Amino acid sequence: MTATPDHPLVPAVQAALREVMDPELRRPITDLGMVDAIAVGDDGDVSIRLLLTTGGCPLRQHLVGAVEAAVGAVAGVSQVNVEVGVMDDAQRAALRAHLGAGSRDIPFTRPDNLTRVIAVASGKGGVGKSSITVNLACALARLGHKVGLLDADVYGHSVPDLMGIDPEDGPTQIPDLDMIVPVTAHDVAVISIGMMKQAREDVVAWRGPVVDRAIGQFLTDVSWGDLDFLLVDLPPGTGDVAIGFGQKLPNAEVIVVTTPQLAATEVAERAGTMAGILKQKVIGVVENMSYLDAECPHCGKSHRVDLFGSGGGQAVAAHLSERLAYEVPLLAEVPLERDWRAAGDAGAPIVLLDSPSPAAAVLTELAERLSATRRKLTGFHLGLTPVS
């Protein structure tokens, strides 16, 4: 960006332009390289050259109007003139690189990438894996982190509903940048195949290779930005998606979700073992629906009721620790609550509600624990080959 360097209005004009957001990319136009030049005359006339990604940009008038309004409000500016140009191929390529999308490379595998990728897995469905993932993502965002949420459960996608995302508010596709912009909900960037269907009742009937390509596209073509955390809601079990995801991101961390009963713990161990086979680090186990605080009809006091048994999560953690040869802790025991179910149905993550909730407290504490810890290399695949 060039400017009239010695005019005192230039800093104020630049500051005003930093407040103008691209409605599709949701970033300041100054950060996107869209402001090509600024010139300020002695009479307060300001001329701005604005570069669009394509000549037929439907948001042309919106952006011009936003620039005129922002700069026109600067004290001392008498007139604003906006000239519109189009980025060349090199500038578009630089923008794609800046946004970290539109390439064949997965940005989270680069050595300089600092995003913690945490996949949430389970051995079977119905254990509340998606609810755990959504609430962890929102709790981390509430702690001030930049968080992305990838719904990799293509066939059983529930993240859009749990996040309260309107079916019509799908991600934005920008063909000239080969890029997809995720939907932002509760300060979390979200992508899911459930937001790309024409109708809510449509069924995703894809074979494994198609699903694998879709997950790959979510990782390469989506403009995630500079994330602190990317949470991935994996489908239950040890099928194609889990295998493909593990091959694409072998250094992802994995949380295994189970419930206390034996039938859930046995298959949860398989999900953790699969992560180990794929060189992913299992950082812990979350036991969901651990207990119910119920009021006794006889004494009127609240008692803990183990509806589904007890000790399942600890057993999974112990067995995985032995099998993987490093410590896999029990991270949390999340109680069963009617309010949590209601919050999920309403698309309002329980960790964001004002009313106190035991489940929300446990999940917030888990998010704080994840926020305070760094990735450890124990159990990670470093991609090194011994030289004989």
Domain boundaries, the chain: 10-87, 107-372
User: Rounded to an integer, what distance in angstroms lies between the CA atom of residue 150 and that of residue 107?
Assistant: 14
pTM, rounded to two decimals: 0.77
pLDDT, tens only, 166-194: 877 777 777 666 778 888 899 999 998 87
pLDDT, tens only, 228-276: 999 999 988 877 788 888 888 888 999 999 999 877 788 888 888 888 8
Q: What would the CATH number be for the domain defined by 107-372? A: 3.40.50.300
Please answer whether residues 115 and 230 qualify as being in contact, where contact means their C-beta atoms are separated by less than 8 angstroms: yes
CATH class of 10-87: alpha beta
The residue behind tokens 């993502």 is: 137
Tell me the sheet residues that pair with 293: 304
Give the mean pLDDT of 285-299.
80
pLDDT for residue 198: 55
pLDDT, tens only, 148-162: 999 998 887 889 899
Q: State the chain's mean pLDDT as an integer.
A: 84
In order of 20, 148, 271, the CA distances from 61 in angstroms are: 13, 31, 51
pLDDT for residue 324: 92
Q: How many helices (H) and strands (E) does the chain have?
A: 11, 15
Give the mean pLDDT of 7-29.
86
Lowest mean pLDDT among 167-176, 185-194, 293-302, 356-365: 293-302
More confident: 25 or 219: 219
pLDDT for residue 5: 63
Please answer whether residues 46 and 76 qualify as being in contact, where contact means their C-beta atoms are separated by less than 8 angstroms: no
Confidence band (pLDDT; 50, 70, 90) for 361? very high
CB neighbour class for 77 (10 Å; exposed up to 12, middle 13-18, buried from 19): middle
Q: Does the pLDDT of residue 380 top 50, yes or no?
A: no
Q: Does the pLDDT of residue 140 top 90, yes or no?
A: yes
More confident: 284 or 3: 284
pLDDT for residue 104: 65
Give the mean pLDDT of 299-311.
74
Give phi and psi for 2, each to the nearest 5. -105, 155
- The residues, any chain, with a CB within 8 Å of residue 325's CB and separated by 6 or more, are none
User: Rounded to an integer, what distance in angstroms lies between the CA atom of residue 228 and that of residue 140?
Assistant: 9
Q: Does the pLDDT of residue 379 top 50, yes or no?
A: no
Tell me the sheet residues that pair with 286: 257, 332
- What 3-state class would DSSP assign to 160? helix
Give the mean pLDDT of 336-344.
84
| Nearest one of 388, 337, 331 to 365, comparing CA atoms | 331
Share of the chain above pLDDT 90, in %: 35
pLDDT, tens only, 84-115: 988 888 888 788 777 765 556 788 888 888 89
> In the β-sheet with 253-258, what is the strand arrangement from edge to edge?
183-185, 188-192, 147-151, 229-233, 116-122, 253-258, 281-287, 330-333
Tell me the sheet residues that pair with 332: 286
pLDDT for residue 15: 92
User: Rounded to an integer, what distance in angstroms lies between the CA atom of residue 45 and that of residue 38?
Assistant: 11
In order of 35, 48, 178, the CA distances from 28 in angstroms are: 10, 15, 20
